[in-house]
Amino acid sequence: MKKRLSAAALLIALCVSLCACGNVYDREYLAVSTYTPTLAEDETEEGGVSVRTLADLRKTIRSFVVDGQSSGRIVFDPNYEGDVNEDMASACWQVRTQDALCAYCVDNLSYELSKIVSYYEAEVSITYTEAGRDQSAIVRMQYSTGLNERLRSCMQQGNEQLVLLIQRSSFSAEEIVRLASAVYCESPLIAPAEPVVTVNMFSGTGTQRLYEINFDYTMDADTLAQRREELAALDPFADTDVAALSEIDRAYLACRYLAEHCACRNYAVSTVYDALIRHESNSVGMALAYVALCEKLGLNCIVVDGQRNWQDHTWNIVRVNGSYYHVDAAVCAEQGIEAGFLLDDELAWVNYRWDVSAYPRCMGTLGFEDVTAPAVEEAADETETQP
């Protein structure tokens, strides 16, 4: 009997020992964690773009617009950092209203959000404005450096529209219009008439700007091309040895040519074409023509807008031997060259008014009497033509 009891006790002890080993095994080798499925790589690469943050989401939606896509699929990472519903609505609104390119190109931006087990997917649909359907014509610039040359080239080629996306620009729409006018006045021969410029501006965050610049040349394409050819063919100083003339003689030569070949008329609108080809123009056309002739002669000349005898009037300031002078070709044509050639500020102020802060000070000491008459007379005779 004692042997049986001892055997039973030994068996019980053995069982307890085995159970203890099992507990040790569990503690050392068993780990429990929450299972989160991950997206397969081919699913994000082929089936959509994976995003994890709001910044990723905005960037992805904008990339759809930049690529001109009409739709796109977005896959939210299972560990997405944020509220999917709120972020999706916010990202669409921000892209649509706070990005200059998207504000210009996108007509409507919508989406459908679906939950797939433990992650979300969004199907984005994009419709574009008529102007935004073809983005290949949009000129992208980091800064506004070189903007003058862009405008000049556009007018010279007769383009009717220029769309600029500039990441850092402080220009307003009104300032772009004024800049285009200044560019034209610097080189009037780039177009037979100064185009009427209108600008639509779209703003993004910071200083990002998109400008839709429209040019109206106030004439049909055939007329524009014909007048360009006529102006290009005009070269009144082709037979003149310009290099042999001093700067004052060249300034006089250009003024004399206009005074003898263009009658000043009180037209409401006038152009460089009217002055040089039709030989009749108001003060605006004559001032533009004087700039064009000075450019051919290698002189620095600008247009001045102001008043003469309290009436709106346009004339020029020309640089001669390092100093600036007023030249009024319209007055020279009406009253003789001495009346409007090489005036300093003091002389000009008798009859003229202008924004003195906007133009160079004219303090030169040269005058009509300093023109080398024989050399200029000979050069002028060589360029004599009939109106």
Give the pLDDT confidence of 100-145 residue by residue, as tens digits: 999 999 999 999 999 988 889 999 999 999 988 888 889 999 999 9
- β-partners of residue 327 are 316
Q: Is the pTM of this model over 0.75?
A: yes
pLDDT at residue 372, rounded to an integer: 81
pLDDT at residue 268, rounded to an integer: 83
CATH (residue range 41-128): 3.30.110
pLDDT at residue 144, rounded to an integer: 93
CA distances from 341 to 69, 214, 254, 310 (A): 62, 37, 11, 20
pLDDT at residue 48, rounded to an integer: 82
pLDDT at residue 381, rounded to an integer: 60
pLDDT at residue 383, rounded to an integer: 56
Tokens for 317?
């300031």
pLDDT at residue 81, rounded to an integer: 93
Cβ-in-10-Å burial (0-12, 13-18, 19+) of 315 comes to buried
How far, in Å, CA of 72 to CA of 251, rounded?
Answer: 64
pLDDT at residue 376, rounded to an integer: 61
How far, in Å, CA of 174 to CA of 100, rounded?
Answer: 18
pLDDT at residue 3, rounded to an integer: 46
Q: Domain spans of the chain?
A: 41-128, 138-218, 235-382
Architecture of the 235-382 domain: Roll (3.10)
- β-partners of residue 210 are 165, 202
pLDDT at residue 262, rounded to an integer: 95
Architecture of the 138-218 domain: 2-Layer Sandwich (3.30)
Common-topology check for domains 138-218 and 235-382: no
- What residues in the chain have per-residue pLDDT under 50? 1-5, 7-16, 18-45, 385-387
Residue 138 DSSP code: P
Give the pLDDT confidence of 161-207 residue by residue, as tens digits: 999 999 999 999 999 999 999 999 999 999 999 999 999 999 988 89
